[in-house]
Amino acid sequence: MKTITKIIATSAAVVALFFSTNANAQKLGIGVTAGIPTSDAYSVALGADLRYQFDIDKQLSIPVTAGYTNLSVKDEFGGGSFGYIPVKAGVKYFFNTTGSGIYGLAELGAGFGTSSGSGTSFVYSPAVGYAWSNGLDLGVKYEGLAKDGGSTGFFGLRLAYGFNL
């Protein structure tokens, strides 16, 4: 649990730093994700998120993302769903100097389970994508959750639109 507390404290410090600095561009993105879980117990992953992105320069950004993700449990495993709120911070790197085009993204954080007793998981999410200069962003990602020696995750497609702040 101490690792989760450190992640949350670091994320809060990063967000505070971004809001107190006004030298570079900032963006707010709204995205939806659909994915295929890697565990046999789940059939589909669906989610939505908000991403605050602080541009260090045209190629490097620091994103902070929060949202909601739901993994549907297959009937043979009891049905229902597992929902969690991912809160992540990371690094986004564009492979050209325009601030759009192909990028790589890596995020780490915490996933707060929404069901009673589901607890908090460590969340990691590498991705690659393409961002257009008009704000549209399409990415392919893997999002993994690890807790108490076990893990699950999903491969997903994220479609988003970003607004300049």
pLDDT of residue 23 exceeding 70, the answer is no
Residues 6+ apart with CB under 8 A from 121: 84, 110, 111, 113, 145, 146, 147
When the pLDDT of each residue in the chain is averaged and rounded to a whole number, the result is 89
pLDDT of residue 4 exceeding 70, the answer is no
| Alpha helices (H) along the chain | 2-20
Summarize the confidence of residues 31-44 as an average pLDDT: 96
How far apart, in whole angstroms, are the C-alpha atoms of residue 124 and residue 39?
16
- In tens, the pLDDT along 64-81 reads 999 999 999 999 998 899
Tell me if 148 sits within 8 A of 128, measured CB to CB: no
pLDDT score for 165:
86
pLDDT score for 25:
80
Which single residue is written with the structure tokens 């990371």? 90
pLDDT score for 62:
97
3-class DSSP assignment, residue 103 = strand
Tell me if 69 sits within 8 A of 27, measured CB to CB: no
pLDDT score for 117:
85
In terms of Cα–Cα distance, which of 44, 139, 26, 51 is closest to 83?
44
- In tens, the pLDDT along 79-130 reads 899 999 999 999 999 999 988 999 999 999 999 999 888 899 999 999 999 9
Tell me if 51 sits within 8 A of 29, measured CB to CB: yes
pLDDT score for 15:
54
- In tens, the pLDDT along 46-62 reads 999 999 999 999 999 99
pLDDT of residue 9 exceeding 90, the answer is no
Would you give the end-to-end CA distance of the chain in angstroms?
A: 35
